[in-house]
Amino acid sequence: MKKNVVLGVSGGIAVYKALEIVSLLVKKGINVNVIMTNSATEFVTPLSFQSLSQNMVTCDMFKEPKAWEIQHISLAEKADVFLVAPATANIIGKVANGIADDMLSTTIMATKAKVMFAPAMNTNMYENPIVQDNIKKLKSFGYEFIDPIEGRLACGTTGAGKFESPEAIVDRVLMELYEKKDLLNKNVIITAGPTIAPIDPVRFITNRSTGKMGYAIAKEARNRGANVTLISGPTALEVPKNVNVIKVSTNEEMKNEVINRFDNADIVIKSAAVSDYKPKNYSAQKIKKGEGDLSVEFIRDNDILMELGNRKEKQILVGFAAESQNLKENAMSKLQRKNLDYIVANDITAADTGFASEDNKVIILSSNNKEIHLDKMSKEKIASNLFDIILEKR
């Protein structure tokens, strides 16, 4: 059954970004009903939201209804999540003080769904003690806020109050809508991305990992209710909300962060592409270009996964194997040598999956000799399947 989001749009220059929120939600198969304040319609027409949502847009409480129902009650009851984005100081103040004088404020008052506000306003307005007191009051009643970020605002000033990105807002809504909550109160550690091995202050070696698979796994664990720690090498990915993200660069840094948290972990998924080798001698000064060739001698770096396998007690330990040949054989060897519970193997030579791709195709092998083949699908679906397999009959 489709999930329903009611999107309340109040008047501010960030209204145009709410169009992208509707588009992203609809692409995820979610039904969206939009309620606009009169001032919001001065920035973007209701027809724009209607075209994207494929639903009539509600603006006026007293306009003749399209169906025989009390609209603010029917929308209030229909919502699985009620999102107000952008949320102005005006709508925040109304709800905080029990004022219900238009369709949006009235419907918010009538709903029992989770209500989320994504504020967007001038910095001075956002920091005004009255606005902050209204936000604090609403939070005490269980209303949730997707905090604005700092940046340059439409008025030309720079500071807090900038509307959070539509992607981040939708990500938070999807987290709330997610039905599987089978990881509640579980501590999950995920490593993602590459690590680097410095040669001198300006040069290093690394690999082609983008971190997309690990970040997808982190979001899936978070959506299922886990307490997630994501230990990430350098990536260009947006940091996921409601995840404890620790940024590292080197193998040694990643090792230390994982080991320090390992004892309290329930599940550890090592999807990072960790550097296996590092220069034997690091040059503290930049190596100057000479006339001849340059040779760098490399030595083995830490085998983090092997150490975790040796330390493992109650934890479920999952590794990844990125292979260019003998995929299953190499993955099975790694599973056994490193005392893993599961290993996810993927062929890095495939042109349409793997590094930098939005999709993946994997074989999941287990220590009890199970073998699951997942054909090409999004990395988000791979992540969902992975946890289904890990949690099966546990």
- Which residues are documented as binding site? 276, 286, 320, 334, 338
Q: Is 155 one of the catalytic residues?
A: yes
| Other beta carbons less than 10 A from residue 112's beta carbon | 9
3-class secondary structure, 50? helix
CB burial string 181-196: b at 16+ within 10 A, e below: eebeebbbbbbbbbbb
Q: Which of 70, 73, 155, 239 is catalytic?
A: 155
Give the DSSP H/E element, type plus range, for residue 91: helix 89-96
Token digits of residue 245? 């993200």
Round to whole Å and give the CA distance between 52 and 394. 42
CB 323 within 8 A of CB 360: no
Which of 275, 272, 254, 276 has its CA nearest to residue 211?
272
Residues 6+ apart with CB under 8 A from 167: 24, 238
Asked if 214 and 378 touch (Cβ cutoff 8 Å), the reply is: no
The pair of structure tokens assigned to 232 is: 């990430």
Q: Which of 88, 131, 84 is nearest to 109 (CA)?
A: 84
Q: How far apart are CA 79 and CA 86, in angstroms?
A: 18
| Residue 24 three-state SS | helix
Give the annotated binding-site residues for CTP: 276, 286, 320, 334, 338
Residue of 187, 183, 205, 203 whose CA lies nearest to 195: 205
Q: How far is CA 394 from CA 189, 360, 391, in A?
A: 18, 26, 5
Give the catalytic positions in this structure.
155
